[in-house]
Amino acid sequence: MSKYYCQGDVIRISDYKDTFLIISKNAFIKASGVFHVCPLIPGIAEGPLHISVNGNHGASGTAICEQIKLIDPAQRNCKKVDYISYAQLMNVSDAVQGIFEYD
């Protein structure tokens, strides 16, 4: 099931009102069958860990990069609803990576 999901996809997970952005690398998704997401929340101001994104088909929101979750799509009802550009994905990935860099 996970082979249908890619880094940069915007998904909806049943029982959640907000959408989520897949941030895991495609190699990780393929190898593990799971992926990391961060929520896309509308109306949140941008900041160092809050990156505004707009999907190619109208989805939008602010990626809350410090709220990373691991999702197993085999155990959740997930549906791809959009995807973001590579440039936006790079901004989100840089923010997430910055959380874990050395001081």
Domain range 2-100, its CATH number among 3.40.50.261, 1.20.120.80, 2.30.30.110, 2.60.120.460: 2.30.30.110
pLDDT tens, position by position, 27-50? 999 999 999 999 999 999 999 999
21 pairs with which residues across the strands? 10, 38
Positive/negative CA dihedral, 89, 63, 41, 71: positive
pLDDT tens, position by position, 51-79? 999 999 999 999 999 999 999 999 999 99
How many C-beta atoms lie closer than 10 Å to residue 57's C-beta?
9
Q: Which of 53, 49, 59 is nearest to 96 (CA)?
A: 49
Query: How far apart, in whole angstroms, are the C-alpha atoms of residue 20 and residue 83?
Result: 10
Task: List the domain boundaries for the chain.
Answer: 2-100
Q: What is the pLDDT of residue 1?
A: 38
Q: What is the pLDDT of residue 56?
A: 96
pLDDT tens, position by position, 3-29? 589 999 999 999 999 999 999 999 999
CB 8 within 8 A of CB 24: no
Q: What is the pLDDT of residue 102?
A: 83
Q: What is the pLDDT of residue 52?
A: 98
